[in-house]
Amino acid sequence: MRRVGLGLTLCAALAACGQIAPDAHAPDFARRGYAPFSRQDAIAIALREWRLFGEKVNDSPDAPASDVGEDKPERQPGLWQRVGEYWFAGVNATDPEHGWTGKHDGTGTVFPPERDGDYAWSAAFISYVMRIAGAGPAFPYSASHSHYINIAARMARHEATGWSVRAADPAITAPAPGDLLCNGREAARQLHFAQLPAGRYTAHCDIVVGDVGPSWAVIGGNVDDAVTLRHVPHGPDGRVRDGGSYLAVVQVLYAR
């Protein structure tokens, strides 16, 4: 009888048996908001993860990756587990991707290196940074960049409320450190800011971590199968020089 009572108590605490909170995998300091959600913390977390992956810099993203097959950073001991932590803490606990790693699917089965595109973790990385920085329920965590880009666009058009993201046109708006700089991929390369929101599409977002003279330093996940930094040239006003090739600046509405 005592065990039954304990089970009922646990179920009540979770609101209903069999249900799990979306932020169940977040550590207490992030879930309970030990500190305000800040640009400084988000940038520091992104830089920490970049250092963990060896401070890789790639300013020629179209060049072929130097590491292939089992040599990919995301598959190395210590790093495939870290990618697993991006999935586990970044996406919601109710999402099926939360069990993936840098080389395993949700059943723990190793997938071949040539299939890693099916397990792209760049959006999980951004979600992880925002979750650990303390964004709480106001950030639209997702395995797909298009999910939070579209919500940011709806926020900008006053079609949604309550989220901590807002989209701006990169052709006329400069990002700030802590914002996301996003571009379309594959067919979405032809997508423009004025067409947002636009359903589900392939995209990539980096977090801006600093202004280094004539360029923004940005960090993204799953770039060359690692957490990688690159430089995006900007003009005197901070707008990216090739703004037309970017889809959106996602302004993150930090508490400070």
User: Under DSSP, is residue 180 helix (H, G, I), strand (E, B) or coil?
Assistant: strand
Rounded to 10°, the helix 122-132/39-52 angle is 130
- pLDDT score at 6: 35
Q: Which residues contact 47 (CB under 8 A, 6 or more apart)?
A: 209, 219
Taking 3-state DSSP, the helix, strand and coil percentages for the chain, each rounded to the nearest 5, stand at 40, 20, 45
- Give the span between the Cα atoms of 219 and 48, in whole angstroms: 11
The yes-or-no verdict on residue 5 having pLDDT over 80 is no
Please confirm whether the linkage preceding 197 is cis (ω < 30° from 0): yes
The yes-or-no verdict on residue 150 having pLDDT over 90 is yes
175 touches 208 (CB < 8 A): yes
- Give the span between the Cα atoms of 225 and 54, in whole angstroms: 12
The yes-or-no verdict on residue 15 having pLDDT over 70 is no
- pLDDT score at 13: 42
Burial class (CB in 10 A: 0-12, 13-18, 19+), 175: buried
Report, as an integer, the average pLDDT of 198-223: 97
- pLDDT score at 14: 42
Q: Which helix (H) or strand (E) holds 43?
A: helix 39-52
The yes-or-no verdict on residue 168 having pLDDT over 80 is yes
- Strands lying side by side in the sheet with 56-57: 56-57, 226-233, 215-223, 203-212, 180-184, 248-252, 165-168
- pLDDT score at 18: 58
Pairing of strands 56-57, 226-233: parallel
Q: How confident is the model at residue 8 (pLDDT cuts 50, 70, 90)?
A: very low
- pLDDT score at 9: 38
